Structure 1
């Protein structure tokens, strides 16, 4: 899976979807950057030749349990922790509210985990507890959705924030035929990654090439399938001239596609955004969805485990320019503010959807 994905990305390097990492502070695999200190971190000395510790207790705290995207992400973490001969654990809330993760962080501190890997539902609500964890010498890695830089060691980002936002705007423009009304169906109002991508998308829409597009609404499905389904329905009822729903969340795009696929809007309203191939396959094949994008979520969880192990082993401190190896994914370099970027996402269409199974 990884090999075929990387080969496809290389073949598509000239396409508009392949996103340059130079536009963002984080660096991707095998890129280098100037050395410096990660945001909020005290000065420390890394030993890149230190041996990776075994038996590390690495706990994953996704945004919520029973979320298909989060399940794929953490499955990659579980694989990596086994490779590292550590102890894997996954805990979390059933809802993605701002404060729902705090009690789990406090419990993980009491259980004396070595590393906490968390996808923050809110960048600030988790910070007091995460800083308590760091004071207890627990290393904190954020992935998928960042917390404030002052309360984590490293952030594992899917792709550059600018690149994702630009890609969402580009796909919306393509699906709308260059003009008309579009709407966004996001996750929660406080979701760090969603808001960052949407901000970039808004900036893109101010450019001359997008002047005929009109963003009429940003709706929030709270990363809940039924809520997202209802919000998609509401958007189409409120805006009968709507051409495209852009959903930068896998729950939202699948729910919106499900609604449109069985409605009179099929073929009239396009759905695009970020989705899982396995969830979106039927909607691509029945013509509801022509194009969407994503990275391999399992690789995010996998990379986060190796970053946490490198921190706990003293190989890195989270400072810009430090390097570490992440198993099958190879070597990565830490960018500005302790950010590590997995790499560019891939665009899925009817031509390649059957080549991916996650």
Structure 2
């Protein structure tokens, strides 16, 4: 990820993020009460456009859950991309919890509303599949982002980075911080989250096969369900159950922030290493007080931004989701569809005391 392009995009979406967070707060309360109604969507209108068939284009983002700081940044970039790409309307709907089937009713509502493009971060790759297939049968283009759906149920998947790279960078950081040996644990999001599970699979494979990690032992995996309170409690439980724990990897922004908050006021501060994937603005104080030495992430706004342009390219017929298809994603430039319909946004960046103040998201 280029820090220049990251900075440019983050500055541009700043105003949108504030408006989006207000809309999401209202949306969360409303859509939870009436999940099947398409009229409960929160969103803003973009400049009118028409697709190749002459109809207006609408796009709806369905994140894992609303009112999640990471999600807010992703959606801010998505709304900016939707406006630039020329969608007639851009909406956000979704559940307040990240359970496996909580997104189904929202997908059904968008199908009934005739939404042109649905962009979804799947809580469970299979639980949403039937509803997505019905949406596609009704003419909607499906873009999975952040966390993939079953490939049979979507057109493309916009991934933050190459999955193995995410796993590798987290293992490298924890190994460096614990001196290459000791017991570690993973505090993940939901047990069914596609992206989390893929990263964890690669971590386990690396731990088993890479001689650099022969003295590191993964002793526990727990799930905070991307809920701050539960993640905090799981972090406490990890330390109680594993008194010899040397480090924790939390590949989720909610989990790493909650774990850092627990460690920062506990006897384990400075003794138990914590790394994973986090937002610089949430983790800055923990880096500066010594609770966390280093963590990583990509620019979440870019993920939403590219997803919107991918949806527009699908709706226009510029791409179909086949390997080798190419489209232009605004300020992010040309993107190419890879194998299995996967579009990569950019590499992760390590954040530490030396560079964290250079980032604002």
Instruction: Tell me, yes or no, whether TM beats 0.5.
Output: yes
Change (3 A) 1:327 1:263: same
The within-5 A match list for 1:215-254 is 215-254=218-257
State the secondary structure of the residue aligned to 2:248: strand
Q: How does 1:195-214 map to 2 (within 5 A)?
A: 195-206=197-208, 207-214=210-217
Which protein has greater RCO, CA pairs closer than 8 Å, 6+ apart?
Answer: 1
Cα distance in 2 for partners of 1:349, 1:269 equals: 17
Cα distance change of structure 1 residues 130 and 51 upon mapping to structure 2, 3 Å threshold = closer
Instruction: Tell me the distance in 2 between the aligned counterparts of 1:55 and 1:80.
Output: 17
Report if the CA contact (8 A) 1:244-1:269 is conserved. yes
Measured in 2, the distance between the counterparts of 1:115 and 1:257 equals 37
Aligned partner of 1:20 in structure 2 is none
Aligned partners of 1:56, 1:254: CA distance in 2, in Å?
37
**Counterparts of 1:21-170 in structure 2 under 5 Å?**
55-86=56-87, 87-170=89-172
Alpha-carbon offset, residue 3 of structure 1: 1.6
1:260 touches 1:266 (CA, 8 Å); kept in 2? yes
**Structure 1 stretches lacking a partner, 5+ long:** 8-49
Following TM superposition, where does structure 1 have runs of at least 4 consecutive aligned residues deviating by more than 4 angstroms?
4-7, 50-55
Distance 1:2 1:107 in 2: 38
Give the conservation status (yes or no) of the 8 Å contact 2:187–2:234. yes
TM-score scaled by length of structure 2: 0.85
Shift of 1:167: 1.1
Residue 38 of structure 1 corresponds to none
Q: How far 1:105 sits from its partner (Å)?
A: 0.1
CA distance in 2, matches of 1:347, 1:159: 14
Instruction: Describe the shift of the 1:52–1:62 C-alpha distance in structure 2 as closer, same or farther (beyond 3 A).
Output: farther
Q: Gaps spanning 5+ residues in structure 2: where? A: 9-50
**Aligned-pair RMSD on alpha carbons?**
1.7
Query: What TM-score comes out, normalization by structure 1 length?
Result: 0.86
How many residues are aligned here?
316
